[in-house]
Amino acid sequence: MHIPDGYLSPSTCAVGYAIAAPFWYVALERVKRLLQTRLVPLLAAVSAFCFVVMMFNLPIPGGTTAHAVGMGIAAIVLGPWAAILAISIALMIQALFFGDGGITAYGVNCLNMAIIGSLVAYAVYQAIAGRAPIASARRIVAGAVAGYVAINAAALAAGFEFGIQPSLFHDATGAPLYAPYPLSVAVPAMMLAHLTLAGLAEAIITAGIVAYLQRANPSLLQTTAMAANDQEAERVRIAAAGGWRGTRPLWIGLGVLMVACPLGLLAAGMAWGEWGTDDLQNPEVRQQITQASGNIAPPEHVPAGMERLASLWTAPMPDYAPPFMHDPNFGYVMSAVIGAGLIVLVFVALSWLLGRAPRSRARSA
């Protein structure tokens, strides 16, 4: 679901940024005060969790792969606005440092996974959980359904964005300039991967963590059971976060996931719509693309716009393979560790900058 550079036209990408920008602004405004509290470690831990869980690729019938995102549990634990911020930061680190998702398509990827995913997950969870007690099994079911519906809503949006490209952006001969497959191919291909294993994985992850938190730290579930503007919810959220010491179990669990993340390398193939320009010219990969696209072969030549934009940004550790690591499994683990560390640095920097601004204004006054 990480759309690379070159698959969407510059105008589509610009629209993605334009739609995402006000959501980022509101999210930052809503979370700004919390970024100066003991909530920072929890925000970083959830963001890092989303980063790592997206490294677990799952094999999909047809030779492609997909992955969970963690949007369900992020929205349930953090609320929708903080979840938007947490997932957007995880996607930023993936795009900048690991080449997972494009720089031009970053706004669209955030729109799909961080914004649509978080808002849908939160709405579905609230609708099903209602006023059920925190320890109720109904909240586990609500979490599972919220995660499943949210990731499929995000996948549907991505399929639509892929699918409109050939009809809107083509050359004089009708050849597509960017993503080559129309809606009739792109939407079913995206939904096949997410209605099946990826959606099931998101549902299991969300339900499993909700069930764990019901026993281990029910306060983390209490905040989204309260009114969004309830000051008591904010107080409970900060107290439940517990600072760095309080989130130690979460970081330990995240460390276990990091060690296990090379399991994501076992899935053969790659996600639909994330092929590189070299893949589109490789006969073996072209056969896999054809099989995963309703037996419709990709264009003989790489679309001109895609070829022009594909090399716009070269990540320092593409494909989660640090160049100084010769063992791919160890390199994958190190990528997870580096990515999580970068996410922590971003949140700490945000906390410092937001805390410094009021002091600067006070001195100038």
Angle between helices 40-53 and 71-78 (to 10 degrees): 170
SS3 279: helix
Predicted pLDDT of residue 114: 98
Predicted pLDDT of residue 79: 92
Predicted pLDDT of residue 269: 83
Predicted pLDDT of residue 78: 92
The structural domains of the chain, with segments of one domain joined by +, span 10-364
Rounded distance, CA 16 to CA 114, Å? 12
Predicted pLDDT of residue 87: 98
Q: Which residues contact 178 (CB under 8 A, 6 or more apart)?
A: 6, 7, 8, 9, 12, 165, 166, 169, 303, 305, 306
- What is the third-level CATH fold of 10-364? Arp2/3 complex 21 kDa subunit ARPC3 (1.10.1760)
Predicted pLDDT of residue 48: 98
Largest CA distance in the chain: 68
Q: Going residue by residue through the chain (365 aa), what tens digit of pLDDT does each one get?
A: 999 999 999 999 999 999 999 999 999 998 887 787 778 899 999 999 999 999 999 998 878 999 999 999 999 999 999 999 999 999 999 999 999 999 999 999 999 999 999 999 999 999 999 999 999 999 999 999 999 999 999 999 999 999 999 999 999 999 999 999 999 999 999 999 999 999 999 999 999 999 999 999 898 898 777 644 455 555 555 555 667 777 888 899 999 999 999 999 998 788 999 999 999 999 999 999 999 999 999 999 999 999 999 999 999 999 999 988 889 999 999 999 999 999 999 999 999 888 765 555 555 55
Predicted pLDDT of residue 71: 97
Question: Exposure string (b/e) for 198-227, b if CB count within 10 Å is 16 or more?
Answer: bbbbbbebbbebbbebbeebeebbbbbbee
- pTM (2 d.p.): 0.94
For the chain, the 3-state helix, strand and coil shares in percent, each to the nearest 5, are 70, 0, 30
Predicted pLDDT of residue 228: 44
φ, ψ dihedrals at 32, nearest 5°: -50, -50
Which tokens belong to 310? Answer: 């594909």
Tally of helices (H runs) and strands (E runs) in the chain: 17, 2
> Which element (helix H / strand E) includes 60?
strand 58-60
85 with 35: CB under 8 angstroms?
A: no
